Amino acid sequence: METLPFLTEEQVQRIQREFGTPLFVYDQATLECQARKVLSFPNAYGLTARYAMKACPTAAIIQVLTRAGLHIDASSGFEAERAMKAGVPGDRILITAQESPRNLADLLEHGVLFNACSPHQLRVYGQLRPNSDASVRINPGLGSGHSNRTNVGGRSSSFGIWHEHLDDVFDVAAEFGLRITRMHTHIGSGADPKVWNRCARMSLDIAARLPDVHTLSLGGGFKVGRMAGETDADLQDIGAVIKDDFQTFAEEHGRRLHLEIEPGTFLTANAAVLVCSVVDVVDTGRRGHRFIKVDTGMTEVTRPAMYGAQHPIVVVPVMPGDRGTRQFLVAGHCCESGDLLTPEPGDPERLRPREVTEPRVGDPVVIGGVGAYCAAMCTKNYNSFPEAAELLLRTDGAFHLIRERQTLDQIVANERPL
């Protein structure tokens, strides 16, 4: 059975009473602890650590992490603007996007850095900033991830300039007088450390062909353990090997490269839980399943339905007493057969019941490991369910509402009926 990570049962019950459910709760202490781990990543000649804000772009979370010393990795012009609205200076933001922002000229005026992910994007940048320094994202030819949907390197990925097409980079750079001083690669999320290190070496080999590069950004996620028995990636072990590789590169090429990394999940995944409530308990007969129905689902946590991802689930009894435990599936509130929070690991088409405390209608339920790609990546407003509220547990022990619950009027505000 799973246990509560940073809240007590009394706090969970209080949250349910005072704020209602569903509700994301973030822990400031965990965010700051993870930030310190990232900022201590071994490096040979300097480090910039960027928070991949797509993991969780709420302003308060951005503020906690940037105040801890992190810069921002944005995946769109909109994310860059959102970060600036949260108080992040433009020169601490790097955009790496599938499309060139329509307001790129304005963002560049604010000091935002732009990472060109194709020859076309590099040409767009060159037209706006001829005779300047530029940054490119290269697909090194290898990727990693727990599924094809999280792998953003290799031949099956459209992300970045294919490593065999560097001549196109040189041609565009020459056309606009650009000096390629930054190079970025990204291999995916949930990366195996051995693959991560191998991709780092491949990236260094490519950087050797770009003589003006002084900064190498090694994008890619570091594994975190959400479930009991799972462990986090050891950043010190991963970084030690990369540090040696950078030193070897300096000896061979006479360039001391500055290192950038851009974790998202590692910083936020286990810094949040989702507090929801049991709304029904049903079964499908003697040979069927027992179900807990809750007032959340893919509208807040899409990862189980999309990837077969696993999240800890804890039932917190409202009334004291020993109820015992039983096997249950947990069903979301959407009118969608795939809205189940207990799939088979890695296979959203199959089911895996969980051993939990015997539930009763009204009991709060805590879903763990939801700080990354949950509030940020969900089927928001499906079945017209409002966006959940968000709460921050501050280091002084106080709860602070950082996002109010959406109303139905807000959902339909932009509609224009006939």
All residues at 6 or more sequence positions from 384 whose CB lies less than 8 Å from its CB, including other chains: 408, 411
All residues at 6 or more sequence positions from 386 whose CB lies less than 8 Å from its CB, including other chains: 405, 406, 407, 408, 410, 411
Side chain identity at 283, as an amino acid letter?
A: D
335 labelled catalytic: yes
3-class DSSP state of 284: coil
Query: 69-89: buried (b, 16+ CB within 10 Å) or exposed (e) per residue?
Result: ebbbbbbebebbbbbbebebe
Which tokens is 87 given? 């108080």
Q: What sign does the CA torsion over 408, 412, 413, 416 have?
A: negative
Region of 346 on the Ramachandran plot (φ > 0 left; ψ -120 to 50 alpha; else beta): left
Side chain identity at 52, as an amino acid letter?
A: A
* Bridge partner list, 96: 115
All residues at 6 or more sequence positions from 8 whose CB lies less than 8 Å from its CB, including other chains: none
* Bridge partner list, 161: 138
Our CA angle for 253, 258, 260, nearest 5°, is 130
Residue of 64, 99, 59, 66 lying closest to 81 (CA atoms): 59
Residue of 40, 47, 67 lying closest to 395 (CA atoms): 67
Of the residues 117, 276, 334, 335, only one is catalytic, namely 335
List the catalytic residues. Answer: 335
